[in-house]
Amino acid sequence: MTVQTANDILKRNNVQVIGQGEKTLVFGHGFGCDQEVWDNTIVEFSADYRIVTFDYVGAGKSDKAAYSTERYSTLDGYKQDLLEVCTALELEEILFVGHSVSAMIGMLASIERPELMEKMIMIGPSPYYLNEPGYNGGFEQSDIDELLDMMEINYKEWAKYLAPVVMQNEERPELAADFEQLLCSNDPTIARQFAEVTFTSDLRDQLDKVTIPTLILQPKFDAIVPLEIGQYLRDHISGSQLVVMEAMGHNPHLSDSEETVKRIKAYLVE
C-alpha cells in the first residue's frame, strides 16, 4: 500500500487555506457540491479566522483517480478524508461547519477524535432520510429508489428536476439554474454512489456519542430535511442548540449567505 504524504492528501482533496487568525474554520460541502459553494460565506470570516476548504474525493477538483467504490461505500470513507486533511495540516481544536451529509461526516470525525473539534455547526443535517413509524425522515424507500434510478438513466434530467426542489426560492430562478450546473459538473457514477450512501445511512445511534458543542441550523422550509429532524437532533445531541433560519431551501449558504454568516458568527462568539 502506498503511504500518502501530507502533500499528497492536500492535493488529493484540493485543499485551500486562506485568511488569518488563531482559530481555524473548516468547511465541509454537501452531496453534489464542492468547496466553491462556500465562496460567499468564507469571505466574511477570512479577516478573523484561518479558513480551510476542500473537496471530498470524487467532487470538484479533487483527484478522481483516488476514488474507490470500496472506501466510499459508507460515510466512513469521507470521514477519513476529513481526518486526513486535518492531520496533514496539523489542525487542532477546529471550528467545523458541515452542510447536509457533511454535518454527519463531521459528527463521525468528532466522535472518533473529540479533541480535534472545539465546536461544530451543522447546516441542514439529517441522521436518516427514511420515514419510519414515529420518525419523519422525509422520504419513503420508493422515493429514494426512484431518485437513484433517475440518476442512472438520465443524470442531467435528474439534476434539472432536483435543483429547484433543493433550492426553493422560486422568485430567484438563477439559484436553481446555478445549482443544476453544479450538479451536472459531477461524475454521474460517483454522484450516484454518494447519493446512495447519503440517503441510506442511518446514524441515529451515533448522536448520543457527540461530546462537543453543536449548533444545528435548520432552514424554515427544506424539501430534503423536515423541520422535525432539526428538533430530533437537538433532542439527541447533548448540549446542542437548534436555530430555525428565515432562509428557505436546503442550501441557505447559497440562497442567503448573509443570514448563514450571521448565525455562525453569533454562535462562534458565545
Cα Rg of the chain, angstroms: 17
> Closest by alpha carbon to 12, among 70, 73, 58?
58
Cell of 143: 422515493
Single out the catalytic residue among 29, 99, 250, 253.
250
Concerning whether 205 is annotated as a catalytic residue, the answer is no
Concerning whether 257 is annotated as a catalytic residue, the answer is no
- Read off the DSSP letter of residue 32: T
Single out the catalytic residue among 29, 99, 100, 201.
100
The amino acid present at 233, given as its one-letter code, is: L
Residue 89 main-chain phi, psi, to 5 deg: -95, 0
Single out the catalytic residue among 34, 222, 253, 256.
222
The owner of cell 448573509 is 258
> Closest by alpha carbon to 93, among 212, 255, 249?
212
Concerning whether 250 is annotated as a catalytic residue, the answer is yes
d(CA 130, CA 225): 10
> Closest by alpha carbon to 253, among 160, 157, 182?
182
Give yes or no for a contact between 52 and 23, defined as CB atoms under 8 angstroms apart: no
Residues marked as catalytic: 100, 222, 250
